[in-house]
């Protein structure tokens, strides 16, 4: 029997109310079937079944409170139900080795599966980037065990309690699904069998699996059978492996549930040369590299689009195709700003703050927005309301190892330059490592893309929807300019390019806003008059 524990429903949520059970005790459930609706302090959430089986107990009645990481309902998995339905197959094994069955049962009871919790709204799967543990290792409560990559950021999963790792269900580089087992462990407080007793059944553990696989093969497995969604089930990692060997999914007999093709099935197919040599081009492909004529191009390397890059692709396509963009360019003379920053640097360093130009850009932007609040607004989904936002949360594009991220500094209008500099340091370090909290990525109202840090001069940025504007800042160049006496002088010039949502902003509005922002930056001492 398996206990389904209520997963994380969102940041900070520790409990919820059971609104409606969609199942009853004794019901048969399918994988991903909706089983219960719960109400948090934010929204109504639907919880689905992690796998097929039969419900044995509902722990929390309708209308009562369920706690995150506490048992919500119990079920007998499909495989467990079949095993319990055929006890006669277990009797001979018990007779052959007295005590072995009871020891195995004790081991099963002591081991628990850690179910991958909800990682955020809409996220259903993630890639395992790095395991911090190995099978057999002892873990402590809240110890980091694995790094996973979602389509938003890198996340660190911690151990729910102390114990010993018994199995890693998902290999590094493969896909883990929300509400599915991630790893198994034996809790520290559980009763462990004697070491001499558990050592004996260990080698025989794979035998039932092998026997089951052999019997299923003999009984014509559903190798080409379709799963519940009308196609042969297989994970993205398996499909990638098939593509690498130029195989079709329907060529490989699947030994998993409902004909699912497993990684082991593909490896066995390749090692055996394939069950249908006429249909499978794999053997010919294996000899292809040595037989390729000189001058022939190598095969294209295929890499799945996942994680933050996949999220960026979707976001940019949606923004560019739904928002009518227009561009506006300007030059800033930041000579005085650079001089002011040099004077303030030593004092900032005394507070362990690295003072770049970005805190000045953000503070000046927040001041200019006071006179042009339309730049800090957004259009509702229906397109018939303008929502003016109470805080100026300025996002900054950071090019990290996980891809482009846009964390934002909250409430810039209420922060000092030192406080803004500290937040920028924190967010930049996290984004470059791919470890930005979800809260830091949400709630942005306007964005800055500092392409000048990479040497760029001009750019035509795409708005980070649902925001209404973004500015790309180019590199600083020392260029000749005429002063008020028509003398040629050396000035620090920076180009900026704005992109605006033409549904809310016109050229005149963004020009006047840019002039106000420019005024604060070109004469930075004027900001002192407006600081709270």
Q: What is the CATH number of the domain that holds 126?
A: 2.40.50.100
CATH code of residue 340: 3.30.559.10
The predicted pLDDT at position 367 comes to 97
Q: Are 267 and 163 members of one domain?
A: no
Catalytic site residue 151?
Answer: no
Q: Is residue 427 part of a domain?
A: yes
How confident is the model at residue 271, as a pLDDT? 82
Report the candidate in 414, 409, 438 with the shortest Cα–Cα distance to residue 425.
409
**For residue 491, is it within any domain?**
yes
Residue corresponding to tokens 């092998």? 210
Please state whether beta strands 394-396 and 446-449 pair in parallel, antiparallel, or not at all (unpaired): parallel
Is 315 inside any structural domain? no
Same domain, 61 and 85: yes
Q: Are residues 387 and 519 in the same domain?
A: yes
Statement to judge: residues 371 and 233 lie in one domain: no
Decide if 305 is inside a domain. Answer: no
Task: With beta carbons less than 8 A apart as the criterion, state whether 471 and 497 touch.
Answer: yes
End-to-end CA distance of the chain: 61
Q: What is the model's pLDDT at position 400?
A: 77
Q: How many structural domains are present in the chain?
A: 3
Based on the residue annotation, tell me whether 502 is a catalytic residue of this protein. yes
Q: How confident is the model at residue 487, as a pLDDT?
A: 96
Tell me, yes or no, whether 217 and 192 share the same domain: no
Same domain, 151 and 257: no
The reply to whether 89 and 138 lie within a common domain is yes
Task: Evaluate whether residue 296 is within a structural domain.
Answer: no
Active-site choice (69, 169, 502, 530): 502
Identify whether residues 436 and 332 lie together within a single domain.
yes
Cis amide linkage into residue 454, ω under 30° from 0 = no
268 and 417: one domain? no
* Confidence (pLDDT) at 152: 66
* Whole-number pLDDT of residue 248: 81
Q: Of 285, 308, 335, which residue sits at a domain end?
A: 285
Nearest-angstrom CA–CA distance, 133 and 314: 33
Model pLDDT, residue 36: 92
Which CB contacts under 8 angstroms, 24+ apart, belong to 403-407?
Answer: 403/307, 403/308, 403/309, 403/311, 403/312, 403/434, 404/308, 404/309, 404/312, 405/153, 405/308, 405/431, 405/434, 405/436, 405/441, 406/441, 406/444, 406/447, 406/464, 407/431, 407/436, 407/440, 407/441
Consecutive 10-residue runs of the chain (532 residues): their mean pLDDT? 80 78 92 84 77 91 87 85 48 41 47 83 80 92 85 79 92 88 86 40 37 38 46 63 78 79 85 53 40 67 78 87 95 97 93 94 97 96 94 93 87 95 94 83 94 88 96 96 95 97 96 97 91 70
Residues 184 and 248 in one domain: no
Instruction: Indicate the residue among 199, 233, 263 that finishes a domain.
Output: 199
Q: Are residues 118 and 223 in the same domain?
A: no
Domain contains 159: yes
Does one domain contain both 181 and 246? no
CATH number at residue 212: 4.10.320.10
The range of the structural domain enclosing residue 223 comes to: 207-285
Q: Quick check: is 218 in a domain?
A: yes
pLDDT for the residue 83: 53
Is residue 313, in this structure, part of any structural domain at all?
Answer: no
Which of 285, 306, 338 is the C-terminal boundary of a domain? 285
């Amino acid at each position: 029997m398996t206990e389904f524990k209520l997963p994380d429903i969102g940041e900070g949520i520790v409990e919820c109310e059971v609104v409606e059970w969609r199942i009853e005790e004794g019901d048969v459930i399918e994988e991903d079937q909706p089983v219960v609706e719960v109400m948090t302090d934010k929204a109504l959430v639907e919880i689905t079944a992690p796998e097929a089986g039969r419900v044995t107990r509902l722990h929390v009645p309708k209308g009562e409170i369920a706690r995150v990481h506490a048992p919500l309902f119990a079920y007998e998995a499909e495989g467990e139900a079949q095993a319990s339905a055929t006890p006669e197959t277990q009797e001979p094994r018990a007779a052959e080795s007295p005590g072995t069955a009871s020891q195995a049962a004790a081991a099963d009871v002591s081991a628990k599966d850690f179910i991958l919790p909800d990682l955020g709204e809409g996220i259903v799967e993630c890639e395992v980037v790095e395991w911090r543990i190995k099978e057999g290792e002892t873990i402590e409560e809240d110890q980091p065990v694995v790094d996973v990559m979602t389509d938003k950021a890198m996340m660190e999963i911690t151990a729910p309690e102390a114990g010993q790792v018994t199995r890693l269900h998902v290999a590094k580089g493969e896909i883990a699904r929300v509400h599915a087992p991630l790893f198994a462990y034996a809790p520290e407080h559980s009763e462990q069998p004697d070491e001499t007793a558990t050592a004996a059944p260990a080698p025989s553990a794979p035998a039932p699996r092998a026997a089951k696989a052999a019997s299923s093969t003999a009984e014509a497995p559903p190798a080409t059978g379709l799963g519940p969604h009308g196609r042969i089930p297989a994970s993205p990692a398996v499909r990638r492996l098939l593509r690498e060997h130029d195989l079709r999914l329907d060529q490989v007999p699947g030994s998993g549930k409902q004909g699912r093709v497993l990684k082991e099935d593909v490896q066995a197919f390749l090692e055996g040369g394939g069950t249908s040599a006429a249909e499978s081009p794999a053997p010919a492909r294996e000899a292809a590299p040595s037989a390729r004529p000189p001058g022939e191009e190598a095969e294209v390397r295929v890499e799945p689009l996942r994680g933050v890059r996949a999220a960026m692709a979707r976001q940019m396509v949606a923004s560019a195709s739904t928002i009518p963009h227009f561009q506006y360019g300007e030059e800033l003379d930041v000579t005085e700003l650079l001089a002011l920053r040099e004077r303030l640097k030593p004092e900032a360093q005394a507070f362990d703050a690295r003072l770049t130009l970005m805190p000045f850009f953000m503070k000046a932007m927040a001041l200019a927005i006071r006179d042009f609040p339309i730049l800090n607004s957004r259009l509702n989904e229906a397109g018939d309301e303008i929502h003016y936002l109470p805080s100026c949360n300025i996002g900054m594009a950071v090019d990290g190892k996980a891809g482009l991220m846009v964390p934002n500094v909250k409430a810039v209008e209420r922060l000092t330059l030192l406080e803004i500099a500290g937040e920028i340091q924190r967010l930049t370090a996290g984004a470059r490592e791919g470890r930005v909290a979800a809260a830091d990525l949400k709630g942005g109202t306007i964005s800055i893309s500092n392409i000048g840090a990479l040497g760029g001069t001009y750019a035509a940025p795409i708005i980070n929807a649902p925001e209404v504007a973004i500015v790309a800042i180019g590199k600083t160049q020392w260029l000749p300019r005429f002063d008020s006496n028509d003398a040629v002088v050396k000035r620090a010039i920076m180009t900026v390019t704005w992109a605006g949502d033409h549904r809310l902003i016109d050229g005149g509005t963004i020009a006047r806003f840019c002039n106000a922002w420019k005024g604060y930056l070109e004469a930075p001492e004027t900001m002192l008059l407006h600081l709270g």
